[in-house]
Amino acid sequence: MSQLSLHGIVPPVITPLTPDMQIDEASLRRVVRHLIDGGVHGLFILGSSSEVVFLDAARRADVIRVAVDEAAGRVPVIAGVIDTATDRCVDHAKQAAALGVDGLVLTAPFYTRTSQAEIVDHFCYVRDAVDLPLIAYDIPVCVHIKLERDTLRTLYERKAIVALKDSSGDDGNMRMVIRDFAGAPDFTVLTGSEITVDYALLGGAHGAVPGLANVDPAGYVRLYDAAKAGDWDTARAEQQRLIALFEIVFQGFPDTSRNASGVGGFKTAMQAMGLLTDRHMNRPNAVLSDVHAAKVRAIVEQSGLLRAA
């Protein structure tokens, strides 16, 4: 398997949509430029914040084509190949590889109930099908099963994975994983949290994949740079500022689902910043109402990002 060294801030790029639910290429190109100009170290397309499970193969291909073209080799682009069953994931992986991504991201299968041994097989089947670095994505809130520490070690020893994106919310377990892999310099641990990035970096994580970095990539890069320099007071202050901005994800709930409120909060903020033409969500997720959008805009304005946009 080819290698990929991930570190730093790797935002899970949102997927802009047109009113007829197609990929908004112009907006996606603006988003990619915004992220790279903000100093990010990589791009994760077709993840949870990208609404990947709503997208068919054609729209996934459109996202990959545009993101890879706009990134133009300036940062690595990794793509989620997430689906309910192994053979579907293999198909997505082959498509992503053909379109030029630098790595793949895979969760455990979902809907069907699987064992840890079957999860190992799932990853190995995808690894065997496509010669690209594979990143494990631990997100039990969505797939309803955790990638156990022994499973991660087995996958690493079988040369199936090169990194972990930990969105489990279990910071104690992630700290143990970081310890498990302390002697493996070729393995990367990235937190999926927006609000505990400073803690994770202090504990030895190599970076973060925060959805909020779609809105404020430069803020997360400043946090990362301060942490790498050992300036924890600056890192903490930046994290506190980003926590205040993170309030945008709660403005639609409970009138919308948590996903529509969260990803919809990002999209609404980015529309206010002039990055997106529309803030449409994939059906059935609801678009934030104008009332909720106004609350999001007020938070973004208070953060100073509208003046910078």
Q: What is the biggest distance separating any 2 CA atoms in the chain, rounded to whole angstroms?
A: 51
Alpha helices in the chain (DSSP H): 25-37, 57-71, 86-98, 116-129, 140-143, 149-157, 171-180, 197-202, 217-228, 232-245, 258-272, 290-303, 305-308
Q: Give the pLDDT score at 195.
A: 98
Amino acid 2: pLDDT:
60
What is the structure's pLDDT at 15? 98
Q: What is the pTM of this model?
A: 0.96
Q: For tokens 């779609």, name the residue.
A: 214
pLDDT along the chain (309 residues), means of 10: 84 97 98 98 98 97 98 98 98 98 97 96 98 97 96 98 97 97 96 98 98 98 98 98 98 93 97 97 95 97 80
Residue 132, CA distances (Å) to 78, 146, 245, 277 in order = 10, 23, 35, 34
Q: Report residue 22: phi and psi, to 5°.
A: -100, 170
At 110 the pLDDT is: 95
What is the predicted pLDDT for the residue at 3? 75
Give the tens place of pLDDT for each residue, 250-262: 999 999 999 999 9
Is residue 65 within 8 A of residue 40, CB to CB? The reply is no
Give the tokens for residue 217.
């990539």
Domains and CATH numbers, the chain: 8-230 (3.20.20.70)
Closest by CA position to 12, among listed 200, 220, 254, 196? 220
CA distance 34 to 47: 18
Q: What is the pLDDT of residues 115-143, one digit of tens each?
A: 999 999 999 999 999 999 999 999 999 99
pLDDT at 29: 98
pLDDT at 5: 83
